[in-house]
Every structure is written in structure tokens, then in C-alpha cells.
């Protein structure tokens, strides 16, 4: 893969399919790399929550765990204690959380620990 600079940001373009990847897989890989770069290309190192023009979305448990660093049992215990955002039922056996609520909880934790100025 080679990087191409466009409007001050790197964009990955797949090279010729000579490394064992067919064209479709190379394009998918390039697309995923571009999404990762877009996510990492935010101005600050700290996640600032969803962009103001972006709608809220529902996150499933693995994504909530990844964002918070908490395990499943800790998340549910803190929910019971009123210290973590409540989940939203999206099906008979499926729960999800508001992305904005999770980012808000993260910001509160950072502010309480003195990591935000």
C-alpha cells in the first residue's frame, strides 16, 4: 500500500495486487485503513464525543467495553449502582448504549480525575 497526501491528510491507495491480495480485498483493506486514519486524525488525542453534526448511535457491549476499558460485570454493576449510563433494550436479548452517554461518562471521569483542563 502506498500513502497519498490529499488536503493535508494521508489517504491510502492500494498498490497493484502483487502481495497475494486480490483487487477486492485490497480495496476493502484500503477502505478500512482510511476509516482508521479518519478516526485517528481528530485534532486532540482525547475523544471529544460524537461530532455536533453527527447523530447519536447505539453501541453494543463489546464497543462499550473497548471505549471504557471496563469489563462486562463492572459495567452492569455500575449501572445498578447508578454510576454508569443505562442500557437501551433493542431486542429481547440485546442491549445497547447511547454513544453520547458513553462519551459523556468518559468525559466526566476524566474531569473528576483532573485530566481535563
Higher pLDDT, 110 or 16: 110
All residues at 6 or more sequence positions from 33 whose CB lies less than 8 Å from its CB, including other chains? 1, 12
Provide the whole-model pTM.
0.53
pLDDT per position as a tens digit, 27-84: 777 777 777 776 666 544 445 555 555 688 999 999 999 999 999 999 999 999 999 9
Distance in angstroms (rounded) separating the CA atoms of residues 104 and 111 = 10
| Mean residue pLDDT across the chain | 77
Cα distances (angstroms) measured from residue 50 to each of 92, 97, 115, 116: 27, 14, 19, 17
Class of residue 107 by CB neighbours under 10 A (exposed 0-12, middle 13-18, buried 19+): middle
Per-residue pLDDT, 115: 75
Amino acid at each position: 500500500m502506498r500513502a497519498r497526501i490529499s488536503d493535508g491528510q494521508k489517504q491510502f491507495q492500494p498498490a497493484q495486487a502483487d502481495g497475494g491480495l486480490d483487487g477486492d480485498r485490497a480495496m476493502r483493506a484500503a477502505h478500512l485503513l482510511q476509516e482508521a486514519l479518519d478516526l485517528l486524525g481528530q485534532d486532540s488525542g482525547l475523544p471529544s464525543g460524537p461530532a455536533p453534526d453527527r447523530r447519536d448511535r447505539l453501541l453494543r457491549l463489546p464497543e462499550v467495553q473497548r471505549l471504557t476499558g471496563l469489563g462486562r460485570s463492572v459495567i452492569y454493576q455500575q449501572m445498578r449502582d447508578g454510576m454508569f449510563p443505562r442500557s437501551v433494550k433493542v431486542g429481547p436479548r440485546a442491549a445497547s448504549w447511547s454513544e453520547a452517554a458513553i462519551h459523556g461518562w468518559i468525559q466526566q471521569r476524566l474531569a473528576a480525575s483532573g485530566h481535563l483542563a
